[in-house]
Amino acid sequence: MLAELNKAGNKVGLRINQTKTQFMKNAWADEGHGTPIRESSSYVYLGRSMNMDNDMREELVRRQKAAWAAFKPLKEITNHLTNPKLGAFLFDSTVLPALYYESEIWLASATTSRASSTSHRAQERYLFQLADSIAALLCAERLDPAIRWNTKLGGPVI
């Protein structure tokens, strides 16, 4: 199959870059006898981590890292804000898209939901520098609606 792909590409002036190209196979695929292309167990395609086991852990870790990376410049800005509604708007428009990118195609499971909700609550606590007693309520998911109203944040999406 690789030889066919290479032959078709050569007809139109394309060639396979062997340093960048990887392949992934399932348990029923034939061995790639003598192929110079390396095998990979997972890869990132269009911003989503893909693997043959459909394991979401790697993708969740990537999304959490992306959310914290989006959150870092935001926390310096929000330290100087007096309007919590503006801070909530900035959080909702920058951090949440990074955290929940392509979440509509995630496998709905308790682990996925718990991981994304935990990350969301941790960023909320850090953003609004909530007291430890309120943070304990957040962790227990028994958040008083008045607290969410004061911070103007919505709940986790998943």
**Domain boundaries along the sequence of the chain:** 2-40, 57-151
pLDDT band at 12 (very low <50, low <70, confident <90, very high): very high
pLDDT in tens, 28-54: 666 656 666 777 777 777 777 777 777
Determine the Cα–Cα distance for residues 118 and 75; give it in Å rounded to an integer.
18
pLDDT of residue 11: 92
- Mean residue pLDDT of the chain comes to 71
Minimum mean pLDDT range among 17-21, 51-55, 86-90:
51-55
Q: Residue range 107-135: average pLDDT?
A: 67
pLDDT band at 58 (very low <50, low <70, confident <90, very high): confident
pLDDT of residue 13: 92
SS3 category, 40: coil
